[in-house]
Amino acid sequence: MFFSRLKKEINILVFDIGSSSVNASLLSKKENEIPAFLSFSYLRLPLLENPDFKHIERHARKAIKEIAEEICKKNIKKMPTLIYLMLSVPWYFSETKSVKIQRRETFKVTAELVNKIMEDELELFERKGKEKLDDPDGIEILEKEKMNFIVNGYPIENPYGKETNKLELSIYISAARKRFVKNIEDILMHFFGNAEIKFASEPFSLFGILSEMVNPKDGYLVVDVGGEVTEIYLIRGGILEDTKSFVWGANLVIRRVASSLNIGLGDALSFFAARTGGDIKDSTDEKLSSAALGICTEWQSFLAKSLSELGKEKPLPQTLVILGGVAGSDILKKCLNSPDFSSFTILGKPFNIVSFIPENFSEKILTSGVDRKDSKMTLPLLLALSALKYGRRK
């Protein structure tokens, strides 16, 4: 008599820790089946008049604890074996390094040579990271990834054993404050016991999964508008080439509108939620649009500065992916269509703006219970797909 074998199932809990919110997706993956969303939790951090990141950090830890407790109670039979935490600015620091070795005599590329390069770059990065993150406990390295090799001017996947007189290596390294990481680990271990815990920076997580979906020949940009911070990533030549950020996010739009219309932050936030859902009076919509006009110009100037730095060596890709809660909002989306940005692009034209909605991922992940038109769910879904594909990688 033959008995059918039970399909192996893994459950992964994916946290997205941003500058104004914490969300978590609990996922289930069975062998040879499309992964499924089991639950989604979202907690917005307090909208403050004058944000202070030390204060925000306390609220972020509190939100992680509340979400972990809720998931633990409601999914007792679906406990995660892996917890994957994606960190946005200001919770991480990263750097992409391009290392070049050129010698008169040919040399063989060996694992020992590459490991020595990595050790040297890691030492330099740790010095810079300790100064940047300013934590008396030090820093925790999140990622140290070799992204590509160029041997004798040609990209190659496996350079080991090749002889050359010129080697180029692109390395991505990221880190977080050690105390921040330890506090979160303690919280999660309390609720989930021996589950494996991994931290990652959001840019590298998105780079892997987006490069399978957006792959124009000249590369692409990602603009992720968070609550307090806007992050920009440049992907070109198959690597995460550079990242920039500035402290100007969607929350500032809400603060300025609240001030302009002389209303509370809570009311301004409600107006924007109603506007995104299309449930708002025309007169109020006009007031919001009018109040946001100057804000758009200011955001454009900050973005232009970052784009100028990213495009210092050569023109930027034409394709730009917009993410974050405002991806479905016309206000900042229109700002990106400005012809003023044409001077930065490879074709000298405005960016080709790409945005996603949940139904774009219907063949990759089952999203029952998720609004298939809600662009705010795009980032959690992308990070979930990234965790499913790369989370168990050593």
Tell me if residue 169 falls in helix, strand or coil. Answer: strand
pLDDT of residue 280: 53
Tell me if residue 240 falls in helix, strand or coil. Answer: strand
Tokens of 22: 């914490």
User: For the purposes of burial, counting CB atoms within 10 Å of the CB of 392, is it exposed (0-12), middle (13-18) or buried (19 or more)?
Assistant: middle
Q: How far apart are CA 186 and CA 82, in angstroms?
A: 15
pLDDT of residue 278: 54
Secondary structure (H, E, C), 77-104: CCCCCEEEEEECCCCCEEEEEEEEEEEE
Q: How far apart are CA 222 and CA 320, in angstroms?
A: 6
Residues 6+ apart with CB under 8 A from 376: 325, 327, 328
Q: How far apart are the first and last CA of the chain?
A: 39
pLDDT of residue 181: 96
DSSP 171-206: EEEEEEEHHHHHHHHHHHHHHHTT-EEEEEEHHHHH
Tokens of 157: 């996947």
Strands (E), the chain: 9-17, 21-30, 36-44, 82-87, 93-108, 139-151, 154-156, 163-177, 196-201, 220-225, 230-236, 239-246, 319-324, 352-354
DSSP state of 315: P
Q: pLDDT of the chain along its 394 residues, tens only?
A: 444 455 678 899 999 999 889 999 999 988 888 999 888 999 988 887 777 778 889 999 999 999 999 999 888 788 899 999 999 999 999 999 999 999 999 999 999 999 999 999 999 999 998 888 888 889 999 999 999 999 988 999 999 999 999 999 999 999 999 999 999 999 999 999 889 999 999 999 999 899 988 877 889 999 998 888 899 999 998 899 999 999 888 787 778 777 777 888 877 777 666 655 555 555 556 666 666 667 778 888 999 999 999 999 999 999 999 987 654 455 666 778 788 899 999 999 999 988 888 888 888 898 877 777 777 788 999 999 999 888 766 6
Tokens 């506090």 correspond to 183
Task: In the chain, count H helices and then E strands.
Answer: 9, 14
Strand-pairing partners, residue 107, are 164
Q: Strands 82-87 and 93-108, how do they pair?
A: unpaired
* CATH 3.40.50.2020 matches 214-354: no
Q: How far apart are CA 233 and CA 240, in angstroms?
A: 7
Tell me whether the CATH fold assigned to 9-81+358-390 matches the one assigned to 214-354.
yes
Asked if 28 and 78 count as a contact pair (C-beta separation under 8 A), the reply is yes
| Domain extent listing, the chain | 9-81+358-390, 93-177, 214-354
Q: Pick from 34, 61, 27, 33: which is nearest to 45 by CA?
A: 61
Which CATH code fits 93-177? 3.30.1490.110
Q: How far apart are CA 221 and CA 43, in angstroms?
A: 28
Third-level CATH fold of 9-81+358-390: Nucleotidyltransferase; domain 5 (3.30.420)
Q: Pick from 40, 35, 58: which is nearest to 187 by CA?
A: 58
